[in-house]
Chain A
Amino acid sequence: MAPAIQAENLVKTFGDVRALDGVSLDVPEGTVLGLLGPNGAGKTTTVRVLTTLLRPDSGRAVVAGVDVLKHPNQVRSLIGLSGQYAAVDEYLTGFENLQMVGELYQMTARAAKARALELLEWFNLTEAKDRTAKTYSGGMRRRLDLAAALVVRPPVMFLDEPTTGLDPRNRLALWEVIETLVEQGTTLLLTTQYLEEADRLAHDIAVVDHGRVIARGTADQLKAQIGGERIEVVVHRADLVADAVATLSGYALGEPAVERNTRRITVPVSGGARVLADVIRDLDARSIEIDDIGLRRPTLDDVFLTLTGHVAEAADEENGTDATGRGRGGRGTGGTAGDESGPDQDKQAVAAGTEL
């Protein structure tokens, strides 16, 4: 089966900057590819090439079976694009915006009207349909923008950071819409800076950095690629740490990592839940009292940092990612928030917060 989106070796330079340095990717029909990467990695440029907005210097792209460079207008009638900023006319009403897009997709005036009303209903904008988009909240504009991308029920959709800047409630609502589309068979290419979003929505993830795809696979595959599972134990008292380490060593594939002040011990293991059960029984048998125990797998945050972290220029992005992770981690790991154990601690918070 031919992929619905296919890019081969796309290259695009802007002056000295090699925005795309040989990007290749393919998205099988009916699946979601998450394009993940720091700002300036080439995510948006890739989307712009695939949606006919930008001609690459070299390379080839096929969308819905149509060559993007040879028949751009044919491609345009088969795709929907929703960008980073909500591209709606703020002086038109929600209804007028969608009607205009429908007419520009060459629908008849009547069909465009009917479709506009249908979409407004679906996106919960019916009440606001006769107000200018200027009066809409950020979330409403984003919904209207996504609705505009759906006017012709395109088989292939491109969403460029669809939820950037949205509050959690609106983000969740948009995710549900996107999931519905995918259930209905839409092929989707999604760029995002939110790892949580990629983890939840994407079947496959391509990590992009410096204009290249540096890793590709399912979220699980990527996580496995950078390391296996591990068991984390927090013992009740500091004097139990040594005993616990001794016990855990029997199951460890490598050296246990110990954080004294949080009484946390982490060991790499294999065997999943069965090993975890054994460890719990073993600790219990030796009367080592524990506060917390869990089987942890690396998160997408870990993957992202490992893959792009060695690049000095991405330092800012790392911080950005960390900050996001920390915000989310805060909810799940209140107990560690007050500790000052350096960057590792941050990573723990990230890990705990995004565990699914």
Chain B
Amino acid sequence: MSTATEHAIGAAIPRQRRGLSATLHDSWVVAKRNLRRMSRIPEIVVFGLMQPVMFVLLFSYVMGGAIQIPGTHASSNSYIQFLMAGIFAQTVTFATAGASAGIAEDMTKGLVDRFRSLPMARSAVLVGRTLADLCQTAFTVIVLALVALAVGWRIHDGVLRALGAFVLLLLLGYAFSWIGALIGLSVRSPEAATSAGLIWLFPLTFVSNAFVPVGSMPGWLQGIAYWNPFSATVQACRDLFGNQVGPVDSAWPMQHAALVSMLWSVLITAVFSWLSVRKYRSAVG
């Protein structure tokens, strides 16, 4: 008995943190861990960058000349102006795959079991993961913006409004990384998580106003495209960057794009973080 008591004393844990402060502390510890990982596997960050950079270059040089945006004239490198909001938004949503693959890997490697056996906040593993992904997304967006500026993209309405656009983009990216978290917790392998995290993003990002005007789509698809959370963010960014050419579509979500974008992001974050944390608590890995 006495030995065990000594041990219990040895094990006395300074549990000064409770509730929200515990959640924040633990999330920060996990986020720090994930950021360290990223710094040790720079390939992930680099390849995460290459895809959108390639898109910018391909779309602006290869397709830019062929795609005519209504209300503009072809010579005015108008497509890159139209395009960038879409590329930015696509880039932040593709960060989903990072969250899903990372969490699936932690599950298969037994790290989630280790975390779940520790007296830490139940949401911290996922919050820490999504926060680290947010940092990576922010970095990617900055580099991408520099590349875009180099090929002729411009901000027309001032830095403040542009910053507002970046905030909306990061909010969307953060929301989507929670979808990725749920996918990562649900699939059995990191490989499956990578494809499962990406595949649904293609229809989502293409059935939108990101690459072509919605007006050019069949009528039934237009409704979907207008209410797509992705479209709202793209439209809001176009407005805030001053990249809108011609009149904004009259559909309600397009007219109130910034608000709709924000609401979607908050809604997705709320729903998917709740689902993910619930799944994490009962995870069988």
Contacts and interface: CB of A to CB of B under 8 A. Distances in A.
Contacts of B191: none
Contact of B118 (A84, A88, A105, A187): A105
B110 A106 contact: no
B188 to A, nearest CB: 14
A29 B29 contact: no
A185 B119 contact: no
Main secondary structure of the interface of B (DSSP, over half): helix
A74 B13 CA distance: 11
B256 interface: no
A87 B110 contact: yes
B4 A4 contact: yes
A96 B114 contact: no
Contact of A185 (B7, B13, B32, B120): B7
A186 interface: yes
Given A92-B37, A101-B118, A104-B29, A83 B113 contact: yes
B13 A91 contact: no
A101 B29 CA distance: 9
B160 interface: no
Given A54-B284, A76-B119, A106-B17, A87 B114 contact: yes
Contact of A91 (B7, B8, B22, B40): B40
Interface in A94-112: 96, 100-101, 103-108, 111
A341 B15 CA distance: 64
A61 B182 CA distance: 30
Interface string B1-22: 1011011101101111100001
A55 interface: yes
B216 interface: no
A105 B13 contact: yes
Contact of A107 (B13, B40, B124): B13
Nearest to B115: A104
A85 B1 CA distance: 32
A154 B7 CA distance: 7
Contact of A1 (B1, B6, B10): B1
Interface size of B as a range: 35 or more
Interface residues of A, number: 49
Contacts of B22: 106
Contact of B114 (A81, A132, A152, A154): A81
Contacts of B4: 4, 29-30, 155, 185, 187
Given A101-B114, A106-B22, A184-B3, A155 B8 contact: yes
27 contacts: A30-B4, A48-B113, A52-B116, A54-B284, A55-B282, A74-B119, A76-B118, A76-B120, A77-B11, A87-B114, A88-B111, A101-B114, A101-B118, A104-B29, A104-B118, A106-B13, A106-B119, A106-B120, A107-B13, A107-B14, A111-B14, A132-B40, A153-B11, A154-B11, A184-B3, A185-B4, A185-B7
Interface of B: 1, 3-4, 6-8, 10-11, 13-17, 22, 25-26, 29-30, 32-33, 36-37, 40-41, 109-111, 113-120, 124, 282, 284
